[in-house]
A and B are shown apart, each in its own frame.
Chain A
Amino acid sequence: WPAKMIQAILVFNNHGKPRLVRFYQRFPEEIQQQIVRETFHLVLKQDDNICNFLEGGSLIGGSDYKLIYRHYATLYFVFCVDSSESELGILDLIQVFVETLDKCFENVCELDLIFHMDKVHYILQEVVMGGMVLETNMNEIVAQIEAQNRLEKSEGGLSAAPARAVSAVKNINLPEIPRNINIGDLNIKVPNLSQFV
């Protein structure tokens, strides 16, 4: 049942390739993919300089739900929320999430999301928990992420050091993908962000 204030958080690129799929309500994988595709087609139709709310209708949850999204260069960040959330508040929350990503990855780009989906999830978990807004203060979010990174480091991380070295070498052969998320011009779209803490 629609017991979630935020029903789903989807991140996909300009071609509809999913980069983060986080549902707070159970849907079989097949349906999840279908929802991602349909959502992609919905937002793709929108010009960039028009309103960032879409009435999702039958997509997920029904008429009480809205799609609220932002488009940064090659990535779409889409939140599906119900009427208990403030539309402008969620827009700012997306901004907080993206700025946090930018801080944690140091100039985030689509590649970071592609290769570190797990880390993106961990960051999101400090912002939204079980479909509810957990923390909106970016400094607090970043502090918790960094503390957990330190803890992970002290445990030696997931992979052994040699394997890391191998990956680092392989990385060189990757096709060059330009850095996409340009945080520099973000504030143009959210004039009230600075007052929103």
Chain B
Amino acid sequence: MALKMVKGSIDRMFDKNLQDLVRGIRNHKEDEAKYISQCIDEIKQELKQDNIAVKANAVCKLTYLQMLGYDISWAAFNIIEVMSASKFTFKRIGYLAASQCFHEGTDVIMLTTNQIRKDLSSPSQYDTGVALTGLSCFVTPDLARDLANDIMTLMSHTKPYIRKKAVLIMYKVFLKYPESLRPAFPRLKEKLEDPDPGVQSAAVNVICELARRNPKNYLSLAPLFFKLMTSSTNNWVLIKIIKLFGALTPLEPRLGKKLIEPLTNLIHSTSAMSLLYECVNTVIAVLISLSSGMPNHSASIQLCVQKLRILIEDSDQNLKYLGLLAMSKILRTHPKSVQAHKDLVLQCLDDKDESIRLRALDLLYGMVSKKNLVEIVKKLMSHVDKAEGTTYRDELLTKIIDICSQCNYQHITNFQWYISVLVELTRLEGTRHGHLIAAQMLDVAIRVKAIRKFAVSQMSALLDRAHLVASSTQRNGICEVLYAAAWICGEFSEHLQEPQQTLEAMLRPKVTTLPGHIQAVYVQNVVKLYAAILQQKEQAAEPEAAQDVTQLMVERLPQFVQSADLEVQERASCILQLVKHIQKLQAKDVPVAEEVSALFAGELNPVAPKAQKKVPVPEGLDLDAWINEPPSDSESEDEKPKAIFHEEEQRHVKQRQPEADEEELARRREARKQEQANNPFYIKSSPSPQKRYQDLPGVEHIPVVQIDLSVPLKVPGMPASDQYVKLEEERRQRQRLEKDRKKKKKKDKERKGRARRRGSLLSESDEDVAPAQQVDIVTEEMPENALPSDEDDKDPNDPYRALDIDLDRPLADSEKLPVQKHRNADTSKSPEKEHVPVTEKKPKKPKKKEKKLREK
């Protein structure tokens, strides 16, 4: 300590400036943290000095430490001291430190109000500038309210350097103190025509940002912006304005019509890619908003697409990326113009840059049609095999599923192909998206009745193969598909060719390594299979075979009873008891199959995802009213648990004795059907939340036709979707030939044209491709009297809502910005008085420090 005192001379203190600190840290790589904590101790000593230069030097070093991740908020008060230094050199250090570490929670910030006001009105433009810059980073609602008027005055400062900063900071003030927007707006608007380009640019910046958030309030400024757009040569300003017009046109289509011409001119004339790109973007926005009105905007679309193609073909990856981004916007309204460039997009899939590939994938989503779906997915599948990182591979996987399932599978003509694609995707080990594949398998199998037989055969093959179970141990997401496979094989067991084999596969000991929720589904569906096998054996009058199956169940089920997963354990023990009971009955030669199958009778129908939400509350039903009066607190709860256990026990006993007669069973079946119909949670299939049109018109009327399978159902080894691609091509070929033959009868001359058509799929129009089999996509059930959509997009926390203010209404007296008159006058004379009004609001801690300041 004594040594420190000796060292504490000003000279020593000055020895360690920012550069010394940095150098010291670089020389102490081994014990950096220790060295820095030493330095912080020194800084604390320096901050205790009276010399403002020492303090400023210390604060400067703290700013560096802040960058390295050290919290410096403890020095907030010292930072304020340095901010209030008279020299610009120190003031700038203080404001920089404040801008790095002050925020709304900094309690001493309220001490700064008058210091900042003083700096704002300083005769030196750089004092003012530094204060404005600092304030822009830490302005609070209180500061905004107290200083709004001062800043507004600065918007008319003689120096453009101050004007542009004042204009820009007004945006922050508006956000923190929305009441200031109306009084300040007229002056802000004036600045749009400021002689200084920097000030003008700042005003455009602020107004564009305001307008972007609440465009309707700024429509009246459109003519002014239009004028600026046609006169300004500053590309930054032009970009901002053009971007703003993109936000305004949806509200005012007439504006869009006027814009097309000047924008097209700019597109043709500008050499700045950034400006060209924004022009194209806004033309796209205009065309989207005009989509019905103008007859001849196809020329503009062509121009945009053509320019974007140039960007995409550029060797600069940034232009390529942006070109694809803009292309996807056009795609939404004018898919045909983009589809013509499919070659380019597919080419981008091979790009070495992942973000370009992702953009291309996004585009593909909108480009698929019935005729090219198979081709595009095939291409994507080949990329899945090549993909190195799992992130991109997973992205490909989700994209394949998105593309295929979009719009209620409208592009899929052959569901056998789709199922085999899904099965092929199960080869991806380590993917996070096993559940997505599983959901698709369930969705397709449930909703596309015609495909069930095929789906079941594929799923049983999956269950048979051990690789998914084997890899499940390493937290592998792909084993999720077994969930779907087990459920599909169980629920639609009537389609299984060799149910016994599947049953054995599902009872293999390895299954117990699967996650609990999958095992639970296994257990439940094993019984469904078992019921189906019993039925089969009894009908075939093979009682011994039936007993063998029962024996298999009794032997294998205990492995699930031992499961650590409650759900698995509970289901397994219930079922084991049931099977044991059946075994007894079988021993007495009682036929049981009928009754066991009855447990699973009934058809499952998919329920729309929002069905539950849309059930209307019946008239006269008050959901908040008590059904029974709430029990009073004093009532003893002793008896309750007992009663519950007692009841449960009884219920279990009942369940284990399926001795009901025919009538009873029928009644139960009916009740079960009823319950299923009313229970939206019965099926947990959650297909991807992509756009789905629930009420596809007339799907009910499409007759369900049995598939005439041209491929053997049992595919040995891995099913290959390619096989179906070939078959599909052959089928389409046949279809075309058929058509051609018909045409031939009419016109014999067009042979040449046809030859070309046969050569490429591209020239074929989408309507030509008829689906392989008429597929009945079961529409999802909705409750009766479903309410119309009740979505509320508005976010109540949106800060810009407060700025949704009518700017055309004349200003009332009550709206004028608060001005602090007399205190302004004597700020320079008695700085210690300034803090008096704030101290009342202030927490205790800073009070002490403040005294110190006053003593000086």
Contact = CB atoms under 8 A, between A and B. Distances in A.
A62 interface: no
For A26, A133, A158, A196, which residue has the most chain B Cβ atoms within 10 angstroms?
A158
B14 A160 contact: yes
A49 B126 contact: no
A146 to B, nearest CB: 12
A167 to B, nearest CB: 5
A151 B104 contact: no
A163 B355 contact: no
B202 interface: yes
A20 B212 CA distance: 30
B76 to A, nearest CB: 14
Interface string A20-34: 111010101110110
A144 interface: yes
B291 interface: no
B165 A129 contact: yes
A144 B212 CA distance: 31
A157 B56 CA distance: 11
B17 A195 contact: no
A170 B26 CA distance: 13
Contacts of A134: 164-165, 168, 198, 202
Contacts of A44: none
Contact of B212 (A29, A84, A116): A84
A195 B317 contact: no
B139 to A, nearest CB: 8
B19 A20 contact: no
A16 interface: no
Contacts of B23: 115, 170, 174
Nearest to A156: B89
Contacts of B198: 134-135, 137, 140
B527 interface: no
Contact of A51 (B206, B208, B234, B317): B317
Interface in A125-166: 125, 129-137, 140, 144, 147-148, 151-152, 155-160, 162-163, 166
B89 A144 contact: no
B364 interface: no
A87 B318 contact: yes
Contact of A29 (B66, B104, B136): B66
Interface stretch (A88-96, A101-109, A179-187): A88-96
A20 B208 contact: no
Given A50-B317, A115-B19, A155-B88, A132 B168 contact: yes
A88 B322 contact: yes
Given A33-B69, A87-B322, A137-B198, A130 B273 contact: no
Contacts of A144: 161
A20 B66 CA distance: 10
Contact of B96 (A122, A147, A197): A122
B133 A26 contact: no
A174 B22 CA distance: 12
B57 interface: yes
Contacts, number: 189
B693 interface: no
A114 interface: yes
Contact of A148 (B88, B137, B171, B212): B88
Interface in A1-43: 1, 3, 5, 18, 20-22, 24, 26, 28-30, 32-33
Contacts of B93: 118, 158
Nearest to A4: B172
B799 to A, nearest CB: 5
Given A86-B274, A115-B22, A129-B169, A158 B68 contact: no
Nearest to B171: A132
Contacts of A24: 137
A192 to B, nearest CB: 5
B236 A122 contact: no
B239 A192 contact: no
B614 to A, nearest CB: 28
Contacts of B22: 114-115, 117
Contacts of B813: none
A162 B92 contact: no
Interface residues on B, range: 35 or more
A116 B96 CA distance: 13
Contacts of B136: 129-132
B137 A130 contact: yes
A13 B172 CA distance: 32
B235 A197 contact: yes
B352 A157 contact: no
Contact of B89 (A3, A115, A155): A155
A51 B235 CA distance: 22
B18 A29 contact: no
Contacts of A118: 18, 60, 63-64, 93, 96
Nearest to A87: B322
Nearest to B355: A51
B271 A130 contact: no
A80 to B, nearest CB: 15
A174 B26 CA distance: 10
B277 interface: yes
A87 to B, nearest CB: 6
For A55, A157, A167, which residue has the most chain B Cβ atoms within 10 angstroms?
A167
B357 to A, nearest CB: 10
A54 interface: yes
B243 interface: yes
B271 A192 contact: yes
A34 to B, nearest CB: 9
For B90, B212, B274, which residue has the most chain A Cβ atoms within 10 angstroms?
B274
B14 A192 contact: no
Contacts of B56: 158
B133 A129 contact: yes
A134 B67 CA distance: 23
A18 B88 contact: no
Given A51-B318, A196-B274, A136 B164 contact: no
A118 B271 CA distance: 37
A50 B352 contact: yes
A3 B175 contact: yes
Contacts of B92: 122, 148, 152
Contacts of A155: 87-89
Nearest to A2: B799
A66 to B, nearest CB: 10
A160 B63 CA distance: 20
A47 interface: yes
Contacts of A130: 133, 136-137, 168-169, 172
A30 B66 CA distance: 10
B53 interface: yes
A51 B356 contact: yes
B186 to A, nearest CB: 21
Contact of A86 (B103, B126, B239): B239
A2 to B, nearest CB: 9
A196 B11 contact: no
B20 interface: yes
A52 interface: yes
A145 B277 CA distance: 32
A60 B835 CA distance: 37
Given A47-B352, A148-B126, A160-B14, A3 B273 contact: no
Interface in B214-257: 234-236, 239, 243
Contact of A163 (B14, B68, B70): B14
Contact of A55 (B105, B133, B239, B355): B355
19 contacts: A3-B799, A29-B71, A32-B69, A33-B69, A51-B353, A52-B318, A53-B321, A55-B355, A84-B243, A87-B322, A115-B23, A117-B64, A118-B60, A118-B64, A130-B168, A132-B209, A157-B89, A167-B17, A195-B272
Given A87-B277, A129-B133, 19 more contacts: A1-B799, A5-B209, A24-B137, A26-B103, A50-B356, A51-B318, A84-B208, A86-B277, A117-B63, A118-B18, A118-B96, A121-B63, A132-B202, A135-B164, A135-B198, A167-B19, A192-B272, A195-B272, A196-B235
The 3 closest A-B pairs by CB, nearest first: A130-B136, A88-B274, A51-B317
